[in-house]
Every structure is written in structure tokens, then in C-alpha cells.
Amino acid sequence: MSKSLQAIRGMNDILPEQTPLWRYFEGSVARLLDNYGYKQIRMPIVEFTELFKRSIGEVTDIVEKEMYTFEDRNGDSLTLRPEGTAACVRAVLEHGITGGGQVQKLWYIGPMFRHERPQKGRYRQFHQIGLEVFNLDGPDIDAELIIMTWRLWGELGIRDAVKLELNSLGTSESRGRYREALVEYLSAHHDKLDEDSQRRLKTNPLRVLDTKNADTQAVLVDAPKMADYLDDESRAHFEGLKARLDAVGIPYVLNPKLVRGLDYYSKTVFEWVTDKLGAQGTVCAGGRYDGLVEQMGGKPTPGVGFAMGIERLVLMLETLEQIPQEISRQVDVYLCAFGEEAELAGLALAERVRDELPNLRLQVNAGAGSFKSQFKKADKSGALYALILGDDEMAQQVVGFKPLRGQGEQQSIAWDALAAHLATCVVQG
Ligand code: HAM
């Protein structure tokens, strides 16, 4: 196929055989968020480039190297959103819905775009479910976010395969003091740092902490520790969070090197990681960003949130074989009709049944066909039952009701009694 007719590298079609699992996952998360009192918000996919520069930070990988930025016909610089927090903050400010201390508990779902090197679990268009909470500054809400995800992992059957890593970055003042101490220490060991870390030392020194380079890691062993620079308020906040996780029984690992790749965080940061996916093991990540709203022109407004990567979590469900049986069946009943008269009667009968059983997954054969071919299609659809309308059934105003998965013999059911009969045989979603 010529190149122009292929999807862009790192941007994937989600094919019909994959969508049931996506919908199961998305439905599970949506239900959970509804139950905890979160409301959905939908933002545009494109924003002014400036929004991401100001919020994510000029010297982050995302802004420096990964954004899909272009000029539109008016000459404005626009960017396909690389994440959801910036746009969500822009939206709540623009509509004034966090003014006067109003609490907002919001969630969103959709595609994000980053020009990263594609590999398993890392794509250029990927999908996140994210949530953001505004105007709650205590550790109780940080804990709620984590408790909610813990419940989700339990419901999905993947709890044993994920680990929670936690850190506190402190306030911007305490982080500033720590940054100075770290720069002083690392500068004294400049020659032993890898090239990337030497560059980061000048632009974004905290990111040196999460280097993968062994020599730089060796230098970091004796580096100043962020925990020693935490201010009292951040320390108390972090203790409050840990106490709540302990109370619920959620295990965690403290990771003093967890700094996150976006600049807006303060105090709590966390990541849920797994070793089941290879190199791209972070399935959900977030933290607190108490300074961001103000930095973007609003009144001081505490914020906290996270986002999970749908591709990675779907991959996990597949890898751990946690795919519920019922999602593979998408048809309950398949109606076969033979001859034009039967086809017309079948259409009308199907609509009557749908009126009475709106959740029934009833598929009517399209494209006519012989008895054999319609039956083959019925079987292939995965349906539990076939309904048969031929000359005999038409004459008697009945429909043949045939179990396709070995639950008994074929019977004749009167048209008027069909919906009631189906209601007793098919468990409807
Ligand atoms: P993030 O850590 O950049 O945070 O992304 C969150 C999650 O999105 C990652 O843990 C991962 O599961 C998924 N993800 C990121 N990049 C890719 C990719 N290239 N391919 C596949 N999956 C990916 C944020 O985006 C923050 N906005 C989270 C947040 C919300 N913090 C506070 N509120």
C-alpha cells in the first residue's frame, strides 16, 4: 500500500475485535467515578500552544521535543493536547467554575498526542482517562484518588500486578531550596554525569534524579535527599496521606527519586507501576499541583489529579488474561427469515421484541440467504439462540426458537409470547 494510505506511525486503529475490551474498561472506570461523585468534562483536542508551555513547563521533554504543534490558517500556533490537566485548568478558569472556593471533582477521557518513539505501550496518539479535583487542599482527597484506583485494580483483577510509588516534592519554596543543594552537589561531580544529565543540570535539575544511567545513579547515592528539605506543611500533608493509605490497607513504596515529567507538581506525586508490560510500566500517574491555577492567571486554587493510560491498562488485562467472558459475546439472539414474506414479518416482530426488551442484543439477518448460510451466520455471531421464520412458522404465526449452545431442543413460540419467553432465557445487560 502506498505510504499516504497508512495510519501515521504510533497512531493506531482500535479494531472491532478490540473495542469490547476497551468499552468494558472505560465503562468500569466511568461507573467507579460516578459512584465517587466525579463529573465528566469534555475539552477540545487542540489548544493554543502557549497553554502547554506555561503549564507543563518550557524545559520538559513534552514541550521541548514531543508536541504536535502547527500554525492554523489565522497564523495562530496550536498544539494537539499532549495531556489533559492544562486544558482542564484552562476550562475551569474560563468558565469560572472554581471561583469562590467551589469544589470541582472532574474527569475526562480521550486521545492525547506526543511525538515519542513508538514501542509497546508507548504511542504517539494514546488515550487517557484523567481526573482533576479543585479547591480541596488536604491529604484526604489525595488519598481518595489513590483509594479509588486501588478499588479499580481490584475490580479489574490486576491488583496484584501493580505497585504504588509515592513521593512528596514539597512546596515550590522547599523544592527551590532542595534544587539549589542538588545543583551544588551535582556540579561538583559534573564530569561523572552522563551527557543528558549534564544538560538537565542546567535546565531541569530534579529530572537528573530519574536518570537510567548507571554512572549518574552512582553519583546520586550520596546526593542531598529531597525528604530532608521538605517544609513542615508538606511533611504533615504527606504523613496524613500515608496514614490514610495505611488505614485502608493500601501498600506503597516511597520513591524519593519520583519527580514526574511535568513541572506543575507540588507536594504529593504518585505512580502506579507494573513489571508486566516491559519498559512502559507506568499505568497511572499524577499528583498535586497547588500553584498551577494561579500560575495560569487564576486565584490561588489547590488542585490534584491523575491520568491513566488506556492502552497500557487494556494490554495488562490481556497479558493477565483478565478479560470477562461475557464481553466476547455481543449478540444474544439472531433472527433468520426465509422468503420475502417471512423477512417482512421478522422485521416487524424484531421491533416489537425490542420495544419490550430494550437491552436485548437482537440481530436480524441481513442479505437473505439459504437456511444453511443464515444458520452459519447465526452461529458465528456468537448468539445463544436463533429465531427461525420459514413457511411453516408463518402459517402458524409462531417462531422457531433454537438454542445454539446446546441448551435443549428447538421449540415453537407464538409471536405474542416471544418477548416474554426471551426475557426468561436471556440475562440482559
Ligand atoms: P503522564 O504521566 O504524562 O501524566 O501520563 C499519564 C499516563 O498516561 C501514563 O502513566 C501512561 O499510562 C499514559 N501515557 C503517557 N504517555 C503515553 C504514551 N506515549 N503512550 C501510551 N500511554 C502513555 C499526565 O499526563 C498528567 N496530566 C496526569 C495528571 C493529571 N496529573 C495531575 N492530573
Give residue 91 CA to ligand 1 midpoint distance, Å.
Answer: 19
Q: Which of 271, 236, 278, 243 is nearest to 257 (CA)?
A: 271
Bridge partners for 288 per DSSP: 266, 304
Residue 427's pLDDT band (cuts 50, 70, 90): confident
Joined together, the cell numbers standing for residue 44 give 477540545
Q: Given ligand 1 and candidates 25, 52, 83, 210, which is best to mutate, with the most ligand atoms within 8 Å of its CB?
A: 83
Please give the share of the chain, as a percent, with pLDDT higher than 70.
99
- Across the range 306-328, mean pLDDT stands at 94
Judged against a pLDDT cut of 70, whether residue 2 lies above it is answered with no
The pLDDT tens digits of the residues spanning 379-397 come to 999 999 999 999 999 999 9
**pLDDT score of 3:** 60
The pLDDT tens digits of the residues spanning 328-343 come to 788 999 999 999 999 9
**pLDDT score of 373:** 95
Q: Tell me which of 253 and 2 has the higher pLDDT.
A: 253
The pLDDT tens digits of the residues spanning 293-309 come to 999 999 999 999 999 99
Q: Given ligand 1 and candidates 56, 61, 112, which is best to mutate, with the most ligand atoms within 8 Å of its CB?
A: 112
Please give the share of the chain, as a percent, with pLDDT higher than 90.
90
Query: Whose CA is closest to atom 16 on ligand 1?
Result: 122
Q: Domain 329-428, what fold?
A: Rossmann fold (3.40.50)
**pLDDT score of 408:** 85
**pLDDT score of 271:** 98
Residue 426's pLDDT band (cuts 50, 70, 90): confident
Residue 101's pLDDT band (cuts 50, 70, 90): very high
Q: Where in the chain is the domain with CATH 3.40.50.800?
A: 329-428
Sequence letter at residue 429: G
Give residue 126 CA to ligand 1 midpoint distance, Å.
Answer: 9
**pLDDT score of 230:** 95
The pLDDT tens digits of the residues spanning 194-240 come to 999 999 899 889 989 988 899 999 999 999 999 999 999 999 999 99
**pLDDT score of 429:** 56
Cβ 378 vs Cβ 404: under 8 Å: yes
What residues are in contact with ligand 1 under a 6 Å CB criterion? 83-85, 114, 116, 121-123, 126, 128, 130, 132, 261-262, 282-287, 305-309, 311-312
Please state the atom number of ligand 1 nearest to the C-alpha of residue 124.
Answer: 19
**pLDDT score of 87:** 98
Judged against a pLDDT cut of 80, whether residue 428 lies above it is answered with no
Query: Whose CA is closest to atom 15 on ligand 1?
Result: 309
Predicted structure pTM score: 0.93
Query: Whose CA is closest to atom 25 on ligand 1?
Result: 83
Cβ 139 vs Cβ 270: under 8 Å: no
- Across the range 89-102, mean pLDDT stands at 97
Give residue 337 CA to ligand 1 midpoint distance, Å.
Answer: 50
Q: Which of 171, 198, 194 is nearest to 183 (CA)?
A: 198
Mean pLDDT, all residues of the chain:
95
3-state SS class at 120: coil
Joined together, the cell numbers standing for residue 201 give 543540570
The pLDDT tens digits of the residues spanning 25-78 come to 999 999 999 999 999 999 999 999 999 999 999 888 999 999 999 999 999 999
Query: Whose CA is closest to atom 22 on ligand 1?
Result: 309
51: region left, alpha or beta (phi > 0 left; psi from -120 to 50 alpha): alpha
170: region left, alpha or beta (phi > 0 left; psi from -120 to 50 alpha): left
The pLDDT tens digits of the residues spanning 267-297 come to 999 999 999 999 899 999 999 999 999 999 9
The pLDDT tens digits of the residues spanning 108-159 come to 999 999 999 999 999 999 999 999 999 999 999 999 999 999 999 999 999 9
Question: Which string of DSSP letters, residue by residue, matches 343-406?
Answer: HHHHHHHHHHHHHH-TT--EEE--S---HHHHHHHHHHTT-SEEEEE-HHHHHHTEEEEEESSS
Q: Domain 19-171+231-319, what fold?
A: BirA Bifunctional Protein; domain 2 (3.30.930)
Q: Where in the chain is the domain with CATH 3.30.930.10?
A: 19-171+231-319
